[in-house]
Amino acid sequence: MVRAAALQFASGTDVEENLATCLRVIDRAARDGAGIMVLPEFCNHISWYDDAAHARAVSLELGGPFLREIAARAARHQSYIVINVSLRASEDTLTVTSLCFDPQGHLCGRADKQTLMGHENTWFARATVHGDVVDAPFGRFAMFPCRDGVTCETPRALTLRGAQLFCDSLNSFALDEASLHVPARAPENRVFLVAANKVGPLIPQHLLQAVSEQTHIPVRFLNGAGESQIVDPWGNVLARAQRDSEEVIVADLDLALSDDKRMPDGTDLMAARRPALYREIAEVPQPPESAQAASELDVACLAPLATGESALEEISSLLDALPEATALAVLPELFCYDHHKTLSLADQCALGDRAIASMTKSLQGRPCLSLCASLVRPLAADGVEGAAVTAVLIGREGVIAEQPRLHFAGAAPEMNLAAGLQLVDMPWGRLAILSGHDLLFPEVVKVAAIRGAQVLAVCCAFQQDWERRFALLSRAAENRLCVVASAATSSQNAAAPSQSSGAILDLERDFTLMTPWLERSFDGFINAPLVTQQIAGEPVTVARIHPQASNNKLMSEQTDLILDRPWRLSADLLQEPES
């Protein structure tokens, strides 16, 4: 057990004053009994520089007076201290670096930033080696700064190397970082997370108005967004700071709890990974092959109220309730199977055949509409006959595309798995279809985005609340994909009667920072999806999405979500799990 603390405060342009602030807040955390403290990003100087000489002058050297003082405080308080600073890595290289000092005051860990944000690319170099995993008496922890936690690769690699706790140092004005990206990293890796953010201006005070006019960001949003937090491996926030005040928050953590990676159905989130499917993540980025995409598209989530095969009888009436222009409708995972009955694989496949025939018949007269459903379908693997839970796309002429499940589900899987991810080009855009279980693995959705998917259809059956709260939204936001995800109603999913709803996730068309926005003013959210919630018990949910918006992946200058991902250090994601 360890008491962890996130230290939230403001930094300015005076390095000595910033050191004094760090020491004062560290002392405050020590009074709260913290055994590990996490400080924000850029503690030595706000990330704003006149020129290269200025950036170097305010950066720190290992063993210099600033870091010696931090090391001394770690020894004085017998605590681990994680601090992020701009660092002189060599004669001509600066890095954004998280450093950890142990209770003896020794440097015991380092992590350079892998994914630089906007103007950081002007002053700093990306990491060339992996960040350290520190082995402490209370468990193993790892560090990453800010933007590295807004994408799945860096945290996932650290999990695979044994981290039980993430220490995330932030320098962020984005409200969606605290509400979505930060907490998502904890449950998808089943680890604890401590995230420390800034408050106060993130640029020099005298430049606020001019920068606001230049960037089209209101002055009030040029401040650190606060909301530092401590999150457990299931996505529960154990402590959270306010948005605009200096604070120290603490929570007691038993890191051994993060060693159990199992979902309620027995799926081990790490052991069930299939690295051979993710190879593009570690390959040299190429611009995705462009696909035609509609500027707007009407879509729907359907959830029959009946259970078992009788749910098929509702399809025609549900389709009649849809607007005529609806192009895609998604059904929950295995919606026409009675989960209280045990069927042979042959009988499950036969039901899948009947379902396809029934839905094809219901689609007559709807030439523009496709249905995505999850069914059991025959699938041979390694020369062995068998079956797979399969996402099936159906039109009025029958099956358009099939995507068998990519990852084993449950402790004793009996189904076969697909050989890989397949996308389908529709008249309105490039579509990926998945069974909900595959949503647990962020690598798959990343690969879909790398291949140019613009819309993701997911047939869901949520097991835990974090899948609904974080997995859906983070997959959409971090890859810039529209998502249509349907989940079972309460009558079909007794395990989660009030939290079973899916959602339709659209994208803001105004996205790239530092450019004029035409449809909205900056409101603190960079890329939070626009959510139309599917309400449990409601059989039809309709919304409009904008697939064409998915083509813009440029968050800021030199920060493209796909082209600037940390591919060079993502080889760990391709290592096969130990048997």
Phi–psi pair at 427, nearest 5 degrees: -60, -20
Nearest-angstrom CA–CA distance, 98 and 85: 7
Residue 492, pLDDT > 60, answer no
Average pLDDT over residues 7-16: 97
Separation of alpha carbons 179 and 161, rounded Å: 27
What is the structure's pLDDT at 54?
A: 97
Structure tokens that stand for 425 in this block: 């080009």
Q: What is the pTM of this model?
A: 0.94
Tell me what the pLDDT averaged over the chain comes to.
Answer: 93
pLDDT beyond 80 at 530: yes
Who has greater pLDDT, 264 or 413? Answer: 264
Position with higher pLDDT, 239 vs 521: 239
pLDDT in tens, 557-578: 889 999 999 999 999 999 887 6
Inform me whether the pLDDT recorded for 488 exceeds 90: no
**What is the DSSP annotation of 386-448?**
-EEEEEEEEETTEEEEEEE-SS--SSS--S---SS--EEEETTEEEEEEEGGGGG-HHHHHHH
* Per-residue confidence band for 116, with pLDDT thresholds at 50, 70 and 90: very high
Which of the pair, 365 or 66, is modelled with greater confidence?
66
Give the pLDDT of residue 216.
83
Domains 2-258 and 297-565 share a fold: yes
What residue ranges do the domains of the chain occupy? 2-258, 297-565
pLDDT at 489: 60
Name the CATH architecture for the domain at 2-258.
Answer: 4-Layer Sandwich (3.60)
Rounded distance, CA 336 to CA 307, Å?
A: 6
Cross-sheet strand order for the sheet of 94-101: 107-112, 94-101, 80-88, 36-38, 2-8, 247-253
Rounding to the nearest 10 degrees, give the CA dihedral for residues 514, 518, 520, 524: -10
Alpha helices in 114-189 (DSSP H): 120-123, 153-160, 175-176, 182-189
Instruction: State how far the Cα of 41 lies from the Cα of 21, in Å rounded to an integer.
Output: 14
pLDDT at 493 over 60: no
Q: How many CB atoms lie within 10 A of CB 358?
A: 18
Tokens of 367: 């030439």
Confidence band of 413 (pLDDT split at 50, 70, 90): low
- The Cα–Cα gap between 216 and 26 comes to 36
Of 197-201, 467-471, 544-548, the range with the lowest mean pLDDT is 467-471
Nearest-5° Cα angle at 11, 6 to 17: 115
Place of tokens 């890859």: 479
pLDDT at 455: 98
| pLDDT computed for residue 578 by the predictor | 67
Indicate the SS3 state at residue 493: coil
Residue 498 scores a pLDDT above 70: no
| pLDDT score, position 454 | 97
Read off the DSSP letter of residue 132. P
- Please tell me the predicted confidence (pLDDT) of residue 415: 87
Per DSSP, 134 falls in state E
pLDDT band at residue 127 under the 50/70/90 scheme: very high
Helix (H) or strand (E) holding 15: helix 15-31
pLDDT band at 491 (very low <50, low <70, confident <90, very high): very low
May I ask the CATH architecture of the domain 297-565? 4-Layer Sandwich (3.60)
pLDDT bracket for residue 313 (50, 70, 90)? very high
- Between the alpha carbon of residue 89 and those of residues 55, 69, 128, the distances in Å are 13, 19, 11
Query: Residue 494's pLDDT is what?
Result: 40
Is the predicted pLDDT of residue 514 greater than 90, yes or no? no
* Confidence band of 12 (pLDDT split at 50, 70, 90): very high
- Among residues 251, 252, 249, 253, which one has the least CA distance to residue 25? 249
Which two tokens mark 167? 């220490």
The tens digit of pLDDT for each residue in 138-187 reads: 999 999 999 999 999 999 999 999 999 999 999 999 999 989 999 999 99
CA gap 231, 233 in Å, rounded: 7
Mean pLDDT computed over 128-134: 96
CA pair distance 90, 560, nearest whole angstrom: 27
Cα–Cα distance between 222 and 201 in angstroms, integer?
Answer: 6
Q: In whole angstroms, what is the distance from residue 511 CA to residue 31 CA?
A: 42
| pLDDT greater than 60 at residue 228 | yes
Residue 200, Cβ neighbours under 10 Å: how many? Answer: 17
Average pLDDT of the residues in 448-469: 94
Which is more confidently placed, 77 or 341?
77
Mean pLDDT confidence for 223-243: 97
- For residue 243, the 8-state DSSP code is S
Measured CA to CA in angstroms, residue 141 lies from 80, 191, 512 at distances of 11, 10, 33
Q: What does the alpha-carbon distance between residue 405 and residue 398 come to, in Å, rounded to a whole number? A: 20
Tens digit of each residue's pLDDT (9 = 90 or more) over 29-58? 999 999 999 999 999 999 999 999 999 999
